[in-house]
Amino acid sequence: DGGGHVPAVVIGTGYGAAVAALRLGEAGVETLMLEMGQQWDKPGADGRIFSGMLKPDERSSWFKKRTEAPLGSFLWLDLVNRDITPYAGVLDRVNYDQMSVYVGRGVGGGSLVNGGMAVTPKRSYFEEVLPQVDAAEMYDRYFPRANSTLRVNHIDTKWFEDTEWYKFARVSRDQAGKAGLGTTFVPNVYDWDYMRREAAGEVPKSALATEVIYGNNHGKMSLDKTYLAAALGTGKVTIRTLHKVKAIRRQNDGSYVLSVEETDAYGKTLAAKEISCGHLFLGAGSLGTTELLLRARETGALPDLSSEIGKGWGPNGNVMTARANHMWNPTGAKQSSIPALGIDDWNNPAAPVFAEIAPMPAGLETWVSLYLAITKNPERGTFVYDAAADRADLRWTRDQNAPAVAAAKSLFDRVNKANGTIYRYDLFGTRLKAFADDFCYHPLGGTVLGKATDLYGRVSGYENLYVTDGSLIPGSIGVNPFVTITALAERNVERVIQQDIKKK
C-alpha cells in the first residue's frame, strides 16, 4: 500500500479512465486507478450519501469555504450559496483568471455531478472536429458500445407530455416553436423508469428532489454503477481514493514513476508514495491531464513531450442564459433536475446552437426558463505552467467568449421576440448579466488527438504513455461531451491493448 510496482496505472476515474480500466482488466492486465476524490457510497449522519442542492453542506464542494453554485444569485441576492468546512466534496469549481471550470471529484469523476445528458454528436460535425478519426467505425461500433455500456436510456414521451415535472421543458419547447425552432429529446443515463416511480411516490426522490450538481442519491447510473463496477468485476482493477498524482517521471528501464499524495477527507496528508508502472494512462480530465503533462515537460521530468501540450483548449462553446416568462405562463414549482429536451439549431450556418432546456428546480414558481447553450466558438485557450505556483494557468480571456454569447443571443433574441419576453439579468452574479460567459461545464482539449498524441492517444515523445479523456478533443464537439469522450476512449484503448500490450 505504500507504493510499489504495477503493470498499469490509470490516473482518474472519469469517463476516459473508466473505459481504459475496464478494457485493461478484461485483457487480464493488473491495473491500479488513482483518484484524488472520494468513493461516494457511504451515507453520512443524515442517512444520505450526497447533500442536496438547496441546502448544500461540506459534501457538496471540493475544498471551499463557501459553495460556488453556477446560479449564485436570485434577484441579485446571494441566496443560494452557503458557508461550509473545506472538505473533499464532489463538485469542484477551478477558478482561472477569466474562466471557471466545474468538474466532478470522486470515483466516477464528472458522472457524479453532471446532468447525465448522453448525446451522440452529429456525424458531420464529428467529422469536422476529428477528421483523422474513421467516422464510420465510430458510428458503427464505438458510439453504440459507449451508449450501451453507459446504459443510456430514453424518456417515455407520453409520460413527458403528461407530467408536471417537465412543464418547464414543454413551456420552453412551445416558445421555441413560436420562433420556428425545433426541439429534440435527449437520452440520459438517469434511469427514466426510476424517475417515473419517483413521481408516483413509490421510491425515494432524487431527480425530483432537486438533486444533480452535488450528486444524485438515487436514479443516476454514474460510472461507479456501470464501467467502474464492471472494471472491478474483472478482478484485475483496484481503485485508490484520496490519492492525488503530483508528478510523473520516467526511469531508464522505460517504466514510469508517479509521486502520489494520500490525504484524509479534510486534506491532511497521510502519506507520500512513489508508484511505478509499465503502462500509464492519463484520465484526469482536460484540466488534470494537461496540467500533469505540462508540469512534466516544464520541469524537465519528461523533456521530449510535444510543444502542443497545453494547446487547443475550449469550453465547448458553453453559455448559460435565462428568460423571464409572463405571469400567465408559469414554468412550474416542481421541476425534474434532469434535462430532457434540447433546442436544436445546429444546422443554422450563421449561428449553430444546441441549447439544453435546463431546469431551475427552486421548489417554488420562478417563471424562469433556463438554458445551457452549446455554440460553435472557434476561440481556443492555452495552458501555461506557472512554476512558482506549480500549476497550469489557463490563458483565456472573457472576450474570447464573445462569439458564443453572440450565437446564443441570436437564438434567444428570436425566442424572446416571438413570445414578447425578455432575459433575466439577476441570476449570474450580483450585477446585471443575461449571459454567463465566465464558467463552463464542458472543458475539452489541452492534449489534442493527433497533435500532442498520435491518432490513438499515445503521447508523442514517449512509449507506453497514453491520454484517454476529454483533453483529446479539440475544444468543441457541438453537444454534451461524455458520450464522445467514452466512445473515443473505447476506440483508442482497443487499439493500444491490441498493439502495445497483447503483442508484447
Contact yes or no for 243/226 (Cβ under 8 A): no
Contact 183, 342 (CB under 8 A): yes
Please tell me which residue in 198, 298, 356, 379 is annotated as part of the active site.
356
Shortest reach from residue 308's CB to ligand FDA, in Å:
18
Where along the sequence are the contacts to ligand FDA (CB under 6 A)?
11-17, 34-37, 102-106, 109-110, 113-117, 213, 244-245, 283-286, 288, 292, 441-442, 469-470, 480-482, 485
Q: Which is nearer to ligand FDA, 73 or 114 (CB)?
A: 114
Determine the Cα–Cα distance for residues 312 and 294; give it in Å rounded to an integer. 14
How far apart are the C-alpha atoms of 160 and 185, rounded to whole Å?
10
Q: Which is nearer to ligand FDA, 114 or 400 (CB)?
A: 114
Nearer to ligand FDA, 84 or 292 (CB): 292
CB of 481 to ligand FDA, least distance (A): 4
Distance CA 227, CA 34 (A): 16
What is the closest distance, in whole angstroms, from the C-beta atom of residue 426 to ligand FDA in the complex? 21
Strand bridging mode 269-282 / 256-263: antiparallel
Q: Which is nearer to ligand FDA, 419 or 484 (CB)?
A: 484
Q: Between 20 and 181, name the residue whose CB sits nearer to ligand FDA.
A: 20
Strands 382-386 and 91-95 come out as unpaired
Q: Which is nearer to ligand FDA, 310 or 325 (CB)?
A: 310
Report, in Å, the least distance between residue 109 CB and ligand FDA.
3
Angle made by CA atoms 230, 473, 486, in degrees to the nearest 5: 15
Beta carbons of 167 and 331 less than 8 angstroms apart: yes
Is 332 in contact with 347 (CB distance < 8 Å)? no
Min CB(413)–ligand FDA separation in Å: 25
- Residue tagged 413551456 (cell numbers): 171
Specify the amino acid at residue 399.
D
CA atoms within 13 A on the CB side of 230: 19
Nearest approach in angstroms of CB 14 to ligand FDA is 2
**Beta carbon of residue 23, minimum distance to ligand FDA (angstroms, whole number):** 14
Is the Cβ of residue 367 or residue 436 nearer to ligand FDA in the bound state? Answer: 436
Closest of 129, 52, 116 to residue 356, by C-alpha = 116
- State whether residue 336 is helix, strand or coil: coil
For strands 183-185 and 341-345, give the pairing. Answer: antiparallel
* DSSP notation for 369-400: EEEEEEE-----BEEEEETTTTEEEEE--GGG
By C-beta, is 250 or 419 nearer to ligand FDA? 250
Tell me the C-alpha to C-alpha distance, in Å, between residue 78 and each of 73, 87, 277, 331, 430: 5, 22, 47, 22, 7
Question: 220 in the Ramachandran plot: left (φ > 0), alpha (ψ -120 to 50) or beta?
Answer: beta
d(CA 202, CA 191): 14
Residue 115 or 325 having the CB closest to ligand FDA:
115
Residue 356 annotated as catalytic: yes
Please name the helix (run of DSSP H) or strand (run of DSSP E) that holds residue 176, with its range, or none: helix 167-178
Instruction: Annotate 203-234 with DSSP letters as a single string.
Output: S--SGGGT-STT--SSSB--GGGTHHHHHHHT
CB of 475 to ligand FDA, least distance (A): 12
- Least distance from ligand FDA to the Cβ atom of residue 118, Å: 6
User: Nearest 5°: phi and psi at 207?
Assistant: -60, -30
- Which candidate in 218, 243, 279, 442 is catalytic? 442
Provide the annotated active-site residues.
Answer: 356, 442
